[in-house]
Amino acid sequence: MASNPTPQRELRTHRPERPAPRVLNTAEHHAWLARRLTDRDRWLCRMLFEHHVLTSTQIVDIAFPGRRAANLRLRNLYQWGVVHRFQPHRDRGSHPMHYVLDTAGAVALAREEGIDPKELGYSREREIGRAFSLQLAHTVGCNGLFTTLIHRARQPGATGELTAWWSAARCGRHWGDIVTPDGYGRWREADRDVEWFVEFDFGTETLSRLAGKLARYERLADVTGITTPVLVWLPSAAREANARRALTEALRGLDRPARVPVATTSGEATGEPLDMATPRWRRVGASDAAGRVALAALATLWPDLAASAPHQAGHRPASPTASPELAPPSPMPPPEPARFAL
């Protein structure tokens, strides 16, 4: 006969309680938050607004010294209604917790920008609905390419730094009338800058459609006067080999193929599938015997290519937007606070 009458449900891991949504939206709650949100908390809100969803592992990589510190802070932010979280279904094992921006975080971000929260274009239903999006794995995977770079740059003695990271949504607002990359990045190492567009291929679209994007990148280069490498990440070595043939054929059909520098890699090219900085990039058009180069060495594939920032003259928004265009957050986090705000 059982001697412990404690119900099984009370033995489960504690689930932190949150105030009702009505309470989270009050002026009193936002005033209470004002003295508790650190610079890093506010930066994380901007990152979630820009990139939609980040896993707990990615947040550790970009902003915290370790998982325990991240879990403690994220638990507070969740309880305060600054972030929301969900865990997608997995047949075996479990996914890490996924985080999106919640109402209190969006209001704090809007007030920092000096705009009404309604002008921000934020929708709590849309953000939480990402838990069911068919694009969730693609978004998280593409974000992982950049969070891995930030993690690398945060290590002691690191020589490189991610200086720009634009989401697919931001790219779409600026160039979506021509082409919508999955992201834009800029890496600085040894006083040399390299910028790129990324196409994160999950194996869900045909290779002909992937290769067809090169004509649009050529048009973008013609319109802007800026030539930017296109880095294509593919899930497997076999997929990369097939894609390289399709991309090579597409380049031959362009009027000015030199305006579209393309390099590929696969998740099987190195031990760390998403580490863009390692020697994993091979120029399309080069022989199969050509070696792979690191991200910082991309310029060696195209010696005449000079880096230039896409937000300068020559680039323009694809169409006017109803919501104010917030500046992209700095990819690197602010200095860590001396202690957590309670």
What is the domain-level CATH number for residue 39?
1.10.10.10
Q: What is the pLDDT of residue 11?
A: 42
Question: How many helices (H) and strands (E) are present in the chain, helices listed first?
Answer: 11, 9
Among 280, 305, 51, 286, smallest CA distance to 196 is for 305
> The tokens of 188 are what?
């600085």
Residue 320 pLDDT level (bands cut at 50, 70, 90): very low
Residue corresponding to tokens 């230039």: 308
- Among 113, 132, 151, give the residue marking a domain's end: 132
Residues 6+ apart with CB under 8 A from 163: 186, 187, 188, 193, 331
Q: Does residue 168 share a domain with residue 28? A: no
192 has which bridge partners?
Answer: 189
Residues 6+ apart with CB under 8 A from 82: 33, 37, 41, 45, 101, 102, 104, 105, 108
Q: Does residue 55 share a domain with residue 126? A: yes
Q: Is 293 helix (H, G, I), strand (E, B) or coil?
A: strand
C-alpha span between 67 and 208 (Å, rounded): 42
C-alpha span between 336 and 43 (Å, rounded): 11
Residues 5-17 have a mean pLDDT of 49
Among 81, 95, 106, smallest CA distance to 16 is for 81
Q: Does residue 219 share a domain with residue 186? A: yes
* Predicted structure pTM score: 0.88
Q: Is residue 310 part of a domain?
A: no
With 0-12 CB in 10 A as exposed, 13-18 as middle and 19+ as buried, what is 191? exposed
Q: Is residue 85 part of a domain?
A: yes
Please state, rounded to an integer, the average pLDDT across all residues of the chain: 88
Q: Is residue 243 part of a domain?
A: yes
Q: Does residue 119 share a domain with residue 36? A: yes
- Among 82, 112, 132, give the residue marking a domain's end: 132
Q: Does residue 292 share a domain with residue 166? A: yes
Q: Does residue 58 share a domain with residue 180? A: no
Phi, psi of 120, deg, nearest 5: -70, -20
Residues 26-48 have a mean pLDDT of 94
Q: Is residue 104 part of a domain?
A: yes
Q: Which ranges constitute the DSSP H helices of the chain? A: 21-24, 27-34, 39-51, 56-63, 67-79, 103-113, 124-128, 136-153, 168-175, 207-224, 237-252
Q: Does residue 159 share a domain with residue 122? A: no
Q: Is the pLDDT of residue 102 over 60?
A: yes
pLDDT tens-digit profile of 169-219?
999 999 999 999 999 999 999 889 999 999 999 988 999 999 999 999 999
Q: What is the pLDDT of residue 296?
A: 95
The alpha carbon dihedral of 185, 83, 134, 320 has a sign of negative
C-alpha span between 236 and 234 (Å, rounded): 6
Q: Is residue 219 part of a domain?
A: yes
Q: Is the pLDDT of residue 271 over 80?
A: yes
Residues 6+ apart with CB under 8 A from 15: none
Residue type, 286: A
Residue 286 CB coordination number (10 Å): 13
Instruction: Report the number of distinct structural domains present in the chain.
Output: 2
Q: Does residue 282 share a domain with residue 157? A: yes
What is the separation, in whole angstroms, between the first and last Cα of the chain?
Answer: 45
Q: Does residue 159 share a domain with residue 97? A: no
Residue 133 pLDDT level (bands cut at 50, 70, 90): very high
pLDDT tens-digit profile of 215-267?
999 999 999 999 999 999 999 999 999 999 999 999 999 999 999 999 999 99
Among 39, 35, 36, 33, smallest CA distance to 332 is for 39
- Among 97, 132, 167, give the residue marking a domain's end: 132
Q: Does residue 183 share a domain with residue 123? A: no
Q: Does residue 246 share a domain with residue 155? A: yes
C-alpha span between 252 and 326 (Å, rounded): 39
Using the 8-state DSSP alphabet, how is residue 179 labeled?
-
Higher local confidence (pLDDT), 22 or 133: 133
Q: What is the pLDDT of residue 36?
A: 94
Q: Is residue 230 part of a domain?
A: yes
Q: Is residue 207 part of a domain?
A: yes
Q: Is residue 256 part of a domain?
A: yes
Q: What is the pLDDT of residue 8?
A: 45
Structural domain of residue 43, as residue ranges?
A: 22-132
Q: What is the pLDDT of residue 324?
A: 67
C-alpha span between 80 and 30 (Å, rounded): 9
Q: Does residue 160 share a domain with residue 98? A: no
Q: What is the pLDDT of residue 317?
A: 47
